[in-house]
Structure 1
Amino acid sequence: MTSPHDDADFRALMGDVRPLTRGHDRVHAGQPRRTPSEAQLARRRSAAGGGEAEDSLSDDFVDLVPPFDPLDFRRDGIQRGVVDRLRQGGYPVQASLHLLRRPVEEARRTLPAFLHDAVEHDLRSVLIVHGRGHEIDSAPNVLRSYLAKWLPVFEPVQAFVSASQADGGLGATWVMLRKSERARAANRERQQKRRG
């Protein structure tokens, strides 16, 4: 319950306040519009239904992978033989992303675009070169740990493993991407032609 004294105090404080006139209700009225930042563009893409994976790439905290432990991930339904063949370099390098000596923030921006382009061009096996340090908290090992955290976020990533020594060893990661619908249709067509 308010007293007349409270009402008088309020009126005294608000005495010279006037309502905004129509058209001047914007904070930046009269100033040119600025271009949106990368973060704003990413939020807009996410709100529009795209870029959900990019927005979930956090660089806040990561469990560090020990420097001599290989990376190994596969989604349900991916056969172990496919992962073993990937690890041994049994698939051609269709594209590669070099992140050596790159900061985590740059990798966070670069990785989604690289994977998106690979999927758009129907690539299946790509190699990410990131390096590996000998200490658990060395910069290459931190980046490698973030990649292990980020790659499963992307739905097209079916599997990833540390590369063989010939392809970069623990300083590189093979990534197997899902076959696009376009590539599946072409494969079905080839199979139909073989059968006659």
Structure 2
Amino acid sequence: MSQPNRHEEDFRALMGDVRPLRQAGNRADPGGARRAPSEAQLARRESAAAETPGGDILSNDFVDLVPPFDPLSYHRDGIQTAVVDRLRHGGYPVQASLHLLRRPLEECRRLLPPFIREAYAHDLRSVLVIHGRGREIDSPPNVLRSCLAKWLMAFDEVQAFVSAGQADGGLGATWVMLRKSERARSNNRERQQKRRG
């Protein structure tokens, strides 16, 4: 007996009395067409979306803990190092601040998105987030600080952030630079055109 015929016989022996499904019943949903979600399902979805403003961009899963004595520093491509240095040394005025000291992590996660978006909506450019810093890598203030570093990168509005200088809170506070809104850019263009004549 040839090898292919033997494999076919073995296969048939294993399959025994198995028969193909009928086409009409070959579905995962025997009830027919997919049903629309119920009112209760829609309400639960809406409630879940409202609980995490901005979607679920602020996850605290898989956060790399930043050593407590390492400064935070991040900037998007195109941001000049002189701007980041000026931010680091407090060269911009505090236009708004958010105090997260001794608050639970979930509350901080809930407070940050509206703060960033409201500051951006009001054309603020430099804001200060005060979060504290623990002495141990897994202390609650340091965990918050590490989460904050991850969360801030998720916002399109954030151009850069750095740990503050000693006068502004040191490693327990973070300067955040927001990008210019379209309205602010438009105002800048108008001013420049007026200067040119």
Q: What's the TM-score, normalizing by structure 2?
A: 0.75
The runs of 5 or more residues in structure 1 that have no matched partner are 3-18, 20-24, 46-50
Superposition deviation, residue 36 in structure 1: 6.2
Aligned to 2:7: none
Indicate the residue corresponding to 1:102 in structure 2: 103
Would the alpha carbon gap of residues 38 and 103 (structure 1) be closer, same or farther in structure 2, given more than 3 Å must change?
A: farther
Classify 1:39/1:194 alpha carbon distance in 2 versus 1 (closer, same or farther; 3 Å).
same
Aligned-partner Cα distance in 2 for 1:27–1:81: 53
**Whole-Å separation in 1 of the counterparts to 2:46 and 2:148:** 24
State the Cα distance separating 1:182 from its structure 2 match.
0.5
Q: Distance in 1 between matches of 2:186 and 2:36?
A: 52
Q: Secondary structure at the match of 1:161?
A: strand
Q: Would the alpha carbon gap of residues 77 and 26 (structure 1) be closer, same or farther in structure 2, given more than 3 Å must change?
A: closer
Alpha-carbon distance in 2 for matches of 1:116, 1:185:
19
CA RMSD of aligned residues (A): 2.6
How far residue 26 of structure 1 moved from its aligned partner, in angstroms, is: 9.9
Match of 2:50 in 1: 41
Identity %: 70
Structure 1 residue 39: Cα displacement: 2.1
The C-alpha deviation readout for 1:100-146, integer Å capped at 9, x for no partner, is: 00111111111111111111111111100000011111110000000
Structure 1 residue 55, shift from structure 2 partner: 1.1
**Residue type matched to 2:123 in 1?**
D
Residues 1:28 and 1:39: Cα distance change in structure 2 (over 3 Å): closer
Aligned residues: 166
- Decide whether the 8 Å contact of 1:133 with 1:139 is kept in 2: yes
Deviation at 1:195, TM superposition (A): 2.2
Please tell me whether Structure 1 or Structure 2 has the larger radius of gyration of its CA atoms: 2
TM-score (structure 1 length as normaliser): 0.76
| Structure 2: segments with no counterpart, 5+ residues | 1-16, 19-30
Alpha-carbon distance in 1 for matches of 2:107, 2:46: 15
